[in-house]
Amino acid sequence: MAKISTKKFDQIFSYFLELYPNAQTELNFDNGFQLLVAVALSAQATDKQVNKVTASLFQKVKKPEDILQMGFEDFEQSIKSIGLYKSKAKNLRKTAQILAQGDGVIPSTQDELVKLPGVGEKTAKVILHVLYHQPVIAVDTHVHRICNRLGIVKTAQPLQTSKLLETLIPNQYKQIAHHAMILFGRYFCTARNPKCADCKLQEICRYYKDLPKTKTSQKNR
């Protein structure tokens, strides 16, 4: 696959910045531990669902010890409306135990973060990016989809996309890439019915070029 040029990256990220000049996470939190809890809960759940749960949960949970003091059943019940809540409750309780036994500080490297129960590569990268402002890109389904549509990568799985993006995305865009791409995928280049007719990236978009001509002309009417 031909490597995307610097000029195209400039075009893509200028557009993302135009659309989302203040792109940031849509999860609500007040400190690093709450961020970790929110990100862990957000796997296969929407940020909106997570914020609904954490609005009351974070009244009680501000540090690892608070989850331990709540008791397991109470904690499990408080996140019950989130998918996979049973395994998330178990993992978060174990993580709270580990952090409470240490200095309570959220690790600042991917290697340390993924040792925490329930923390995978994507969760770790979100924490590194949001909490420690590191230029890493966590790849979710939105980022995976738009990178393939735009022709930045040609991959089947988000994990493959993640590995490639580390080297493909120019350094100057890594800090903004994560949230801007998520918002673009969530609200603009959606899985179904992307807003191609209004998109300024049509001329460089592989997905758009591959659309049947009739569909393309209809979309531009």
Instruction: Give yes or no for a contact between 168 and 72, defined as CB atoms under 8 angstroms apart.
Output: no
- Residue 88 falls in the annotated catalytic set: no
By C-beta, is 129 or 145 nearer to ligand SF4?
A: 145
User: Per CB under 6 A, does 180 bind ligand SF4?
Assistant: no
Stretch touching ligand SF4 by CB under 6 A, among 27-35, 56-64, 123-131, 188-196:
188-196
Burial 16-50 (b: 16+ CB within 10 A, else e): beeebeebebebebeebbbbbbbbbbbbebebeeb
- Residue 62 falls in the annotated catalytic set: no
Min dist CB 195 to ligand SF4, Å, is 5
Number of residues that make up the chain: 221
Tokens 């022709």 label which residue? 151
By C-beta, is 110 or 190 nearer to ligand SF4?
A: 190
Instruction: Give yes or no for a contact between 18 and 39, defined as CB atoms under 8 angstroms apart.
Output: no
User: Per CB under 6 A, does 207 bind ligand SF4?
Assistant: yes
Residue of 88, 129, 144, 149 that binds ligand SF4 (CB under 6 A): 149
Task: For residues 208 and 187, give the distance between their C-alpha atoms in angstroms, rounded to a whole number.
Answer: 17
Tokens 């230029």 label which residue? 135
Count of residues touching ligand SF4 (by CB under 6 A) = 13
Residue of 50, 150, 153, 177 that binds ligand SF4 (CB under 6 A): 150
User: Per CB under 6 A, does 36 bind ligand SF4?
Assistant: no
By C-beta, is 13 or 208 nearer to ligand SF4?
A: 208
- Provide the residue type at 147 as one letter: C
Sign of the four-CA dihedral 130, 132, 135, 138: negative
Rg (C-alpha) for the chain, rounded Å, is 19
By C-beta, is 119 or 150 nearer to ligand SF4?
A: 150
**For the chain, first and last CA: distance in Å?**
32
Task: For residues 192 and 57, give the distance between their C-alpha atoms in angstroms, rounded to a whole number.
Answer: 33
Stretch touching ligand SF4 by CB under 6 A, among 50-58, 60-68, 159-167, 204-212:
204-212
Widest CA span in the chain: 62
Stretch touching ligand SF4 by CB under 6 A, among 106-114, 159-167, 171-179, 205-213:
205-213
Q: Which of 140, 154, 163, 219 is catalytic?
A: 140
Residue of 194, 212, 213, 220 that binds ligand SF4 (CB under 6 A): 194
What are the residue numbers of the active site?
A: 122, 140
Q: Given the rule CB under 6 A, which residues bind ligand SF4?
A: 149-150, 188-189, 194-196, 199, 201-202, 205, 207-208
